[in-house]
A = this chain, B = another copy of it.
Amino acid sequence: MSKLLDDVVGELAKLPGVGRRTALRLSMHLLRMEREQVGDMAGAMTRFRNEIRYCVRCNNLSDEELCPICANPARDRSTVCVVEQVGDVMSIENSRQYNGLYHVLGGVISPMQGIAPSDLKIDLLLENIARGGIREVILAVSTTVEGETTLFYLLNKLKQFPDLKVTTIARGIGFGDEIEYADELTIAHALHNRREVSR
């Protein structure tokens, strides 16, 4: 077999969820792309890996010392939305419903995977709050066991700031979700947090 092909298949198969068969399919796709396009893709990968930084304030991925959101003077600096990972920032930004800052924990507490609170950017969050100016912290972590563990850990840590408003995002039936297939905990939350409809 061609060494060039063997190399690219072997390299691409290192990506998560990509086996040798998929890697071969991706490699064949590279052949159908222009050389310049493949160069652009490879260049974006190495530049991303070599030059990306973490925002010193919120731990989001950033090209500069401060990420575009923290650097934006139009954002509401009194509200911080705490999320697990970078993708969550993108999802919330896409909703166009939030104008505050973020704080990226970089994961959730997971004894099973050996992720302790000290592995997350929790101290940075507490420092930012202690510095003053933040009035509300929105905890937007997943409703998984690990997420809930992280939530309770954070709630406990935030007790040291009695004037701080701490909220969690609403739990309920998602749009497009069928009640029939929702789990009991979600239904319990959705019922408990029911809202009166104005008529």
Contact = CB atoms under 8 A, between A and B. Distances in A.
A120 interface: no
Given A2-B63, A42-B46, A67-B2, A26 B35 contact: no
Interface residue range, chain A: 35 or more
A16 B26 contact: yes
A41 interface: yes
Is the contact region of chain A dominated by helix, strand, or loop, or is it mixed?
helix
Contacts of A170: none
Given A42-B46, A46-B39, A46-B42, A93 B1 contact: yes
A62 interface: yes
> How many copies of the polypeptide does the oligomer hold?
2
A48 interface: yes
B93 A4 contact: no
Interface in A22-44: 22, 24-31, 33, 35, 37-44
Contact of A28 (B22, B45, B50, B86): B86
Interface of A: 1-5, 7-8, 10-12, 14-17, 21-22, 24-31, 33, 35, 37-52, 60-63, 67-68, 85-87, 89-90, 93
Given A38-B46, A42-B43, 5 more contacts: A4-B48, A11-B40, A28-B86, A28-B87, A42-B45
